[in-house]
Each structure stands twice: as C-alpha cells, then as structure tokens.
Structure 1
Amino acid sequence: MDTERLYIWICFFFSIALAAGGAILFFQKKAIREIPPSRFLQYFLVLVYAFGFYSIWSNALFHLFFTERTHEAIAQLPEYLTLIGIPFLITGMFMLLLWALNLLEKKPGKFFLPLASLLILVMLLAYVAYKRFDLLANVRQLYALFIILTAFVAGSLLCFSGVKYVEKKPRRILILLVFFFGTIHIPLFLDRLATFIPELIFIFLFFFTTTFIGVYFAYTVKVPPLKPEDDGGAASFERFIREYGITGSESEVVQEIYKGKTNQEIADKLFVTVQTIKDHTHRIYLKTNLKNRAQLTSLLRKYEHPAMK
C-alpha cells in the first residue's frame, strides 16, 4: 500500500509539472500571439488541464484516501466530481476543433462544426441506448468516447486539407499527437484500467500528450512577419484580412472602427443593427487575439491603406 501511494504521488506531481511547464513554455512564446489559431489552443490547454485535475485526479486521489468500506454516498463522490468537470472537457475539446479549423487554408462550410457536433452527440446517445447502463456509474466511458470521436475529427481535418502556419513535417507530428490523444482513451472506454498502474500510466499520458501538443505547436509554428509589405497600403490591408481570416462584413466594420466611429454610427452606415456590429467586433477581437478598439487600431496602423483613412 505504501508503494502504491508513492507511485500515485509521483504521478500527481509529474502531472502538475507537465501542466505548469507546458503552460509556461506555451505562453512565453510571445510571437505565437500573432497566430489566430493559437488562441483556441490556449483555451484547449487550460480547460483540459482543469478537467484533468478536477475529474481524473479526483477519482485517483479518492481511492488513495478512502477504502472500499467507505459509505455508498461518499463512494459515488468521484463520479459526481467527474460530471461537474465535464463542461471543461466539452468546451476544451471543441476548442481543439476550432484550432484545427482555423489552421486550414480552405475552411469547410459554416455548417461543418454544427454537423460534426451533432454527429458526435448522436453517436454518444446511440452508445448509451445500446448499452443501457447507469450514466453516473459509466461516465468515464462516455467522456472517453467523446474524446476519441472529437480527436478523430480534429486530426482528420488536418489530414485532408492544406494547413497554414505549419510546415509539412511538423504538421504530420501534430496530426499523430492529436490522434494519439484520442487513442490513449481507448482502454478507458473499454474499461481496461482496473488496477492502479494502468490508471497511472493513462493519467501520465493524458497530461503529457496535452502538454506536448501545445508546446510542439508553439515551437514549430511559422509566425508571419509583422512589418507591412512593400507593395502599397491596399496590399497590406489585404494581407491583414488574409492573415486573420477576416470576412467581408468584418472588414467593413474594421475600417469604420479605424475611423473612430461608434457602433451606432457603423450600424447606420451599413444598415444593420448595433447588435450585429457588436457580434462582428467580438469575432474580430477573437481572431486577432485583441481585447479592445485601442489595440485593434494600433495593429491596423501596420496595415493602413487609403480606404481606412
């Protein structure tokens, strides 16, 4: 029992080191902030780490401190904690999907993400209906299946389309890492982690793979130069639109923001509602990894062209 406790604590502190080290290595790469998809990968790391400690480790540590003779109500505590942590996992995995989508040179239609989400949900519900098991007692199998399906979709996106910011070889490794992240959950889905050693190996691989995806992307991504191009202001603004994936409607809003107009003035000029302008502005901030108009204006000065004056 003492040896088992030692292994659990070693793995726990390794998990902390991987999460902290991965976050530090990823966030210290300031240049990566110029890459719009990196924002989604940041969210993926933070949310999946939160799920890992909140749900996965709560189950492992519970069995460290409580015995099999624990009262039945307390014995179900890990399952309840896992359920509470599920929103972190769902949001984090969809951030992984958005990261993959924003890396593509040619994005699929706007209905791809809703359809992919619906397909994953249908497969999960079909599995529950087929097995007819207690949801609370088998929540780990369900979230394992969700991760497997979502990772497969994200990895497939990077396989079958051109990718921005990442060269051919790093792209292949990133694809393998995403698929591997899903693959390590197969034993959990099949309920083959009955003893504590396989469980600890799984937990270690969970944190290690999550960290490796973020760090490898941060250190292999190709950051485009920040200085404007030499072929004129118009080309520079087109470069801004291309680099950050700005749509036609969003580009009109960008130009009006640069002119210092309010949301109401922009809405009146474009014949849309103020809420529409707010929605466009929110998406622009997400794509450019900025927080306010002042930061956006500062960035736009590097891409200034006559239409924006």
Structure 2
Amino acid sequence: MISLTFIILFIFCLAIAVASLLIGYKFTNTYNDKFHRNYFYYLITFFAFAFYGVLVQILIHAILPLIDSESGVIETILNFLPVLSTPFLLVSWVMLIKMGYSLVEVKERRKELNIHLTVFILLLFLMGCLYFLFDSNTNAYPEKIVYIEIGLMTVIELSYMFFFARTVLQYSKKKNISKNKIAKNFMLFLVLGSLVRGVVLLFMFTESWSWILIPLVLIYFLSNFVPLLYLYRKADIAFIPIYAEYPNEEKKVLLFEKYQITKREKEIIEQMCQGKTNQQIADTLFISLQTVKDHTHRIYTKIGISSRLKLVQMING
C-alpha cells in the first residue's frame, strides 16, 4: 500500500513540477528578460530540492524500516539527506536575490550578494559541525538533528525571502513602475509560500509515514506553483513581450508565402513583432483574447515553432 501511495504521490508532484517548469520556460521564450530567466532557474533548483531532499527522503523513511537494517543506519541516512541537498537550495536562494533586483529593474549590488553568500556558507558550515557534534553523542543526536537542520534551512530561506521582499518594496517605490501592485502581490505569495514550507517540513521530517504526509507534500510543491500561476495570469499586464527590433520585410513576405499565412494571422504577427501583448492585440484588432490565442497557436503550428521568441528571430534582419 505504501508503494502504490508513493507512486500516486510522485505522479502528482511530478505533474506540478513539470507544469511549473513549462510555464517558466514559456516565460523565457515570450519575454526573454533577466527576471524570467532567473525565475526559471529558481524553479528548476527548487523542484530539484523538493524531489531530492523531500520526496526521496519520505520514500526512504517509508521503505527502510521494512528492511532488516540497524536503527542507527536508518537515522543517519534520513537525517543527512537534507544536508546533501543544500546545493540546490543555495542556487535557488541566489536566484531569488537576482529575481528581486531584476523584477524592479535595478542593477545588482555585488557586495550585498557576496555578503549573503558568505552568511549562507557559514550557516551551512555550522549545520555540518552540529551534525558531527551530535553524531559523536548518539544518545542526543537522532531526535534533535532533524529539528536543527529544518530550523537552519527555514531561517536561511526566510532571510533570503526578507531580502527579496525588501528589494521589491524599496525599489518599486523609487522606480514608480506600473507593475508595482503585481510585483508586491507576487512577492507576498512567495513569502507566504516560504512560511508554509517551513511549517510543512517540520511535520514531514519528524513524523513517520502516515496519510497526513500526502497533503503535506502536495502543499510543499504547490507553495511555489501558486505565485507562478498568479504571475502567469498577470504577465501581459506587467511585462512587455519580446519584439522585432530590426524586422526584415523580405523575410516577413517569404514567411507569409511559404506557410500560407492568412490575412488575420498576418495582422497578429505584425502586432506581435511590435511587442504587444495578447490582450493589447485583441483590443487593437477588436477581437477576443481567446481568438488571439487560437490564431497564435495556428501560426506556431503552421511554422513549426513553439514560442514568440522563435517567430521574432525568424523575422529579425
């Protein structure tokens, strides 16, 4: 029963991760700016940790007690896994800092970035020292090391989230950008997700296998899907899609003839090359947003591409 339950759980988590990465990849091909690239890398490293540091640990937690193995070996494996998966967290937190600067369109401060990396390395070193300290005292180590690991990871992540939130709030006011409200809401969703993950980890890593772990794991994976979904729904308002800086008319005519582009599809391609969002195209051509999306899908299918970035590259001189 445990194996079947874990397989179902794994499929759901994989679906969440794949959907998130596909949306993130679509962002990079539609907007092609620094923020969306950093966000895509952040999602990759987050879900890498989620699978390696969370899901795999739960699997081992469920299987190892069924194996004829010494209790000390089981506890060592279970408690040391989060330490081994910290490189994924390191990259995701660095991407989080870079996301903050790129979201509000200000230049990164290398000095502040280096300070945060130094703090992380020191805390990671402290985590390792505590691990070996408790390992030398077998009576104290098994029950306490998990709490220490989770506590340190949560504190570090919240520190980086605080820095991200401070950057967004500080510079969005100074820049007076039109996407202020969306940036703040996105920041709020990320911070709340981080808080939820801290609570969820406490239960997941300290309880034996039970049915309560299923919703907890799903909540952990969804904690980063919710802000992504919010940004996806608001992307056309907050960001300017990639556009053709140097459109080549000859290439455009050849493209239209080769792939038998209709008159309406030509109009939409012209609008896309100007950097207009789907909603702006719909308003300009007096058609619905869904109609724009349908035409765009047909255009991509005819040409054999999957993104606005590819279309622009074909038309640019």
> What TM-score comes out, normalization by structure 2 length?
0.59
**Structure 1 counterpart of 2:55:** 57
**Structure 1 counterpart of 2:158:** 148
Is the 1:55–1:78 contact (alpha carbons within 8 Å) kept by the matching residues of 2? no
The alignment's C-alpha RMSD in Å is 3.8
Which amino acid in the other structure matches residue 167 of structure 2?
Answer: L
Say whether 1:205 aligns with 2:204.
no
Q: 1:110 to 1:208 in 2, by over 3 A?
A: same
**Structure 2 counterpart of 1:187:** 199
Which amino acid in the other structure matches residue 168 of structure 2?
Answer: L
Is the 2:49–2:89 contact (alpha carbons within 8 Å) kept by the matching residues of 1? yes
For 1:151 and 1:198, locate their aligned partners in 2 and report how far apart those are by CA, in whole Å: 27
For 1:85 and 1:120, locate their aligned partners in 2 and report how far apart those are by CA, in whole Å: 14
**Structure 1 counterpart of 2:104:** 104
**Structure 2 counterpart of 1:83:** 83
Query: Among residues 182, 186, 198, which one is paired with 1:170 in the alignment?
Result: 182
1:1-309 equivalent positions in 2, closer than 5 A? 2=1, 8-29=6-27, 31-67=29-65, 70-71=69-70, 72-107=72-107, 109-120=109-120, 137-138=145-146, 139-162=149-172, 167-187=179-199, 194-195=206-207, 196-197=210-211, 199-221=213-235, 222-224=239-241, 226-228=243-245
CA-CA distance at 1:6 after TM superposition: 5.8
* Worse-superposed segment, 205-214 or 183-192: 183-192
Which amino acid in the other structure matches residue 46 of structure 1?
Answer: I
CA-CA distance at 1:120 after TM superposition: 4.9
For 1:165 and 1:15, locate their aligned partners in 2 and report how far apart those are by CA, in whole Å: 36
| CA deviation string 1:210-265 (max 9, x = no partner) | 23333443443312552449xxxxxxxxxxxxxxxxxxxxxxxxxxxxxxxxxxxx
Give percent identity, aligned residues only: 16
Q: Which runs of 5+ in 1 are unaligned?
A: 230-289, 303-309
| CA deviation string 1:159-208 (max 9, x = no partner) | 22227987233223211121012201332576686434554443222211
CA-CA distance at 1:90 after TM superposition: 1.0
Which amino acid in the other structure matches residue 234 of structure 2?
Answer: T
CA-CA distance at 1:87 after TM superposition: 0.7
Is the 1:41–1:214 contact (alpha carbons within 8 Å) kept by the matching residues of 2? no
* Worse-superposed segment, 144-153 or 86-95: 144-153
For 1:54 and 1:181, locate their aligned partners in 2 and report how far apart those are by CA, in whole Å: 19
For 2:201 and 2:234, locate their aligned partners in 1 and report how far apart those are by CA, in whole Å: 32
| CA deviation string 1:93-137 (max 9, x = no partner) | 211211112222334643121123334556677899999756993
Is the 1:184–1:202 contact (alpha carbons within 8 Å) kept by the matching residues of 2? no
Query: Secondary structure of 2:85's partner?
Result: helix
Is the 1:35–1:223 contact (alpha carbons within 8 Å) kept by the matching residues of 2? no
For 2:30 and 2:177, locate their aligned partners in 1 and report how far apart those are by CA, in whole Å: 10
Q: 1:142 to 1:188 in 2, by over 3 A?
A: farther
Q: 1:30 to 1:143 in 2, by over 3 A?
A: closer
For 2:78 and 2:32, locate their aligned partners in 1 and report how far apart those are by CA, in whole Å: 40
Q: Which runs of 5+ in 2 are unaligned?
A: 136-140, 247-308
Count of aligned positions = 233
CA-CA distance at 1:76 after TM superposition: 2.2
Is the 1:36–1:102 contact (alpha carbons within 8 Å) kept by the matching residues of 2? yes
For 1:83 and 1:100, locate their aligned partners in 2 and report how far apart those are by CA, in whole Å: 26
Q: 1:206 to 1:126 in 2, by over 3 A?
A: same
Q: 1:215 to 1:190 in 2, by over 3 A?
A: closer
CA-CA distance at 1:148 after TM superposition: 2.2
Query: Secondary structure of 1:34's partner?
Result: coil
Q: 1:191 to 1:218 in 2, by over 3 A?
A: closer
CA-CA distance at 1:83 after TM superposition: 2.4
Which amino acid in the other structure matches residue 199 of structure 2?
Answer: P
